Amino acid sequence: MDYQNAVDYRDVSSRQKETIFYCNDYQLQQLIDVRPTESSSYIRSSTEPFDDEMVLDHIRVKRWLVHFGLLSKDEHWNLTHVSGHGSGDQIKEVIEGTRQKHLFLFIQSMKSTMKNGAIM
């Protein structure tokens, strides 16, 4: 992108201590370019697996995290059960609590077709 304030993997990689980087389970390949430092943390928020496909996704994500050193071993995967979504004030409190100088939100654009109000 040619936007003056655009950020790419080089910016994230070089400023990891000051950056919160977002990638979902299907964007983990971005870690190849970012190359997380040893002290990096990873927070994954998702529904607990309840079918075979979700179990396979769960295993795939753990392998990526071990590969990039975000988990030292597969068994160091800590789970906490939560339900619902944070309110705007709760999300603001979490972001402010990180005390990061910069916060970058990465949104992957997704083309979809709407039919009768449903994404197809």
**8 Å CB contact between 16 and 36:** yes
Cα pseudo-dihedral 19, 25, 31, 32, rounded to 10: -160
The amino acid sitting at 35 is R
- DSSP assignment of 60-119, as one string? HHHHHHHHTTSSSSGGG-------S---HHHHHHHHHHTT-S------------EETTEE
Instruction: Name the CA dihedral angle for 22, 28, 32, 38, rounded to a multiple of 10 degrees.
Output: 70
| Per-chain mean pLDDT for the chain | 77
Predicted model pTM: 0.56
Segment 2-35, tens digit of pLDDT = 788 888 889 989 988 888 888 888 888 899 999 9
Whether residue 108 has pLDDT greater than 70 = no
Measure CA 111 to chain center: 20
pLDDT band at 83 (very low <50, low <70, confident <90, very high): low
The rounded percent of the chain whose pLDDT value lies above 90 is 8
Query: What is the domain partition of the chain in residue ranges?
Result: 9-119
pLDDT at 94: 78
